[in-house]
Amino acid sequence: MKQRKIIHVDMDAFYASIEQRDHPEYRGKPIAVGRPEMRGVVAAASYEARRFGVRSAMPSMKAMKLCPKLIFTSNRMDVYKSVSAQIRSIFHRYTDLVEPLSLDEAFLDVTENKPGIPLAVDIARRIKREIRQELHLTASAGVSYNKFLAKIASDYRKPDGLFTIHPSRAEEFIARLPIEAFWGVGHATAERMRALSITNGTQLRERDMEFLVRHFGKIGGVFYNFARGIDERPVEPFRIRKSVGCEETYREDATKAQALETHLPLLSEELAGRLARSGFQGNTLTLKVKFPDFVQKSRSITVPDCLTEIEDILPLARTLMEDLDSGDRTFRLLGLSVSHPREEHSGGIWEQLWLDLEY
């Protein structure tokens, strides 16, 4: 079977870079897309701001403390969507197998490509050049034989990076990866892996399938394959994004009072940030809880308008939690998601939603 050629393209600080492109006075300065308010959330940060520790989904007040000279700019989602469409049109010059993950990143399968270019790295180089020349923005690209490795490669030399993981070098490359670099390994999973003396790709590869599934459930099988450079997922251009969500597993079980006062506000901030970055719009909010015995419950509420801001999400999340029939039980996991996409807003070509299992 022919070796696949997969490219992952990730725009560098996409929203913030557009603002710096369109407003020369912002260039070279730390900027954040969002609102400098008590309940505001950073949707995106320039690389100048990231040097101070400012990150997307961070509360605006915290970002301002980290970087007192931080400049906030309004979210111009219509502009970001328009630029994203222009970027996708560049991708389609080379292949129709384009799978957007959000407005600013996508996978491309260029095994068979329109210009007939034999090397995927040459296609990635041309795409980067055309984005820079036509849109005055920079992108990072990763090239490999599957999605897992292409995604890692695109992160390897950001910003404005280009990196290839060749099949002959994949095993050695994966062996050196810190466990946090693997897809699906969030903070809580990384802590559990470290407790099992798994800190890198070599140690992950030493564990058999049964061990990983026993400790991590179904995703343990994914970790087993990733550690061996195996990822058979195809690039799928037309899967419709159904929801955007986030969840957290707690080191110590949370009470309902803690959930209402502390955990749900943090989850709501994270969710609002993810919604802003993805451009997804939906009007159904779902609360998911997992009890210490691993029993799960969920509750949903649908409202007339799209849920995009923390001011809209948090009150509904608290209502769902208060209405949840949990008695005096505590929670080991809480999650929030927005679904029921409004296709006239969302564009209908999104996917890869709950991959980031924890934060």
Please, what are the averages of pLDDT over each run of 10 residues along the chain (359 residues)?
91 96 96 84 92 89 94 92 96 96 93 96 98 97 97 93 96 95 84 94 96 90 95 85 84 89 91 85 92 86 89 92 86 91 44 33
Output the 3-class SS for 43-91: CEECHHHHCCCCCCCCEHHHHHHHCCCCEEECCCHHHHHHHHHHHHHHH
pLDDT value of residue 347: 39
Q: Taking Cα atoms as reference points, which of 12, 32, 130 lies closest to residue 74?
A: 32
Selected catalytic residue, list 19, 105, 248, 270: 105
Note the pLDDT of residue 358.
33
The fold of 1-165 is: Alpha-Beta Plaits (3.30.70)
Give the distance, in angstroms, between the CA of residue 277 and the centroid of all CA atoms in the same chain.
Answer: 9
Model confidence, pTM: 0.72
Q: Which CATH superfamily is domain 243-346 in?
A: DNA polymerase, Y-family, little finger domain (3.30.1490.100)
Q: Which residues are annotated as a binding site for Mg(2+)?
A: 10, 104
Phi, psi of 208 (to 5 degrees): -85, 170
Whole-number pLDDT of residue 240: 65
User: Hey, where are the domains in the chain?
Assistant: 1-165, 170-227, 243-346
SS3 assignment for 113-124: CCCCCCCHHHHH
Three-state SS at 12: coil
Structure tokens at 93: 């010059």
User: Beta strand pairing status for 105-109 and 6-11?
Assistant: antiparallel
Residue 280 is encoded by which pair of tokens? 């997804």
Is 105 in the active site? yes
Tokens of 213: 């599934």
Helix ranges restricted to H, the chain: 14-22, 47-50, 60-66, 77-91, 120-135, 147-156, 167-176, 187-195, 201-205, 209-216, 219-227, 256-258, 264-278, 310-323, 343-346
CATH topology of domain 170-227: DNA polymerase; domain 1 (1.10.150)
CA distance 79 to 132: 17
What pLDDT is recorded for position 208?
Answer: 94
Residue 293's pLDDT is 82
Strand pairing category for 282-290 and 331-341 = antiparallel
Q: What residues does 247 pair with on adjacent strands?
A: 335
